[in-house]
Structure formats: C-alpha cells, structure tokens
Amino acid sequence: MRTRAELDLNQFLPYRLNNLADRISQALETLYAESYALNIAQWRVLAWLSHCDDLTAKKVCAYTNMDKARVSRAIQSLEDRGLIIRTPSQQDQRQHDLQLTDAGQALLNKLVPEAQAWEAQLVETLSVSEYRDLLHTMGKLERQLDRLG
C-alpha cells in the first residue's frame, strides 16, 4: 500500500502568510478604491514616492515585487490623474524619474494617516512586544530567504 503525502495548508507557513497578506491587501484596496479611486499598485507607487527622492519604475518593481506591466499601468494612471510626473533620468535616458505633484502630495497627506489608523486597528490585538516580535521575526525570515536565494 502506497502512503499518500499530505499537506495541511492551515499549518503551512507560506500558505498562511500569503493568505494573510492577500486579505490585508484586499481590505486596504477597498479603503483606497472607495475613498481615493486607487488600486494596490497605484497606492504602492505613491507610498514609495512619499519617502523616496530617487525613484524609477524599475526601482518600484524591485521594491514592491510587482511585475513591470503592473507598475507601468499604475504609473500611467497616476500620471494621467496628475498625481505624479515622469521626467527623463539624468543617469539613464531609457528611464524616467518619478516625482509627486502637489496634488499627489495632498492626496498622500490625507491617505497616509488613514492607512496608519487602519493598520493600528489591525494590530491592536497584539501587545507592543508581540508587534515588535512579529516585525523582528518577519525580518529574520526575509534575511533567510535572501540567503536561500
């Protein structure tokens, strides 16, 4: 008789983390879509622009782990709405530097506090030490993934 390998996904860390991340992203996307007509990709571009002075589409792809087409669509949409501008890069004419417009900054000034308040509600079930430990553990797993390639 052949033994069948079984995997309980509810006890499998990659599945649980992915499921949690998807649920969090979907909840946030609802907030962004209803209030600001933004999707996740657009929000991520704006969020990186909020604290990064030197940003290109290529860097957004690397920082967010989103594919080039998704990032390109997000950037085009944000540019069409007047929230960001693209200018040819001084270092590489094949790339464009991304910058927030005044309208983009004004939007972030409203959106960021709401996102932070939402995050605070999500993690209020954790103690301060549990939250710190969670971030520490996530960092350890990220570094291990880097080592594993």
Per-residue pLDDT band for 3 (boundaries 50, 70, 90) equals confident
pTM, full prediction: 0.83
Instruction: Give residue for tokens 């910058």.
Output: 99
Q: What three-state secondary structure class fits 53?
A: coil
Residues in the chain: 149
Q: Does position 38 have pLDDT exceeding 80, yes or no?
A: yes
**Quick one: tokens of 52?**
């990064």
Domain tally, the chain: 1
Q: How far is CA 70 from CA 3, 38, 64, in A?
A: 43, 13, 11
Residue 106's domain is classified under what CATH number?
1.10.10.10
Q: Is 50 domain-assigned?
A: yes
Cα 53 to Cα 16: distance, rounded to the nearest angstrom: 34
Residue 5, domain member (yes or no): no
pLDDT tens-place string over residues 90-149: 888 888 999 999 999 999 999 999 999 999 999 999 999 999 999 999 999 999 999 998
Q: Give the structural domain span for 142.
A: 11-148
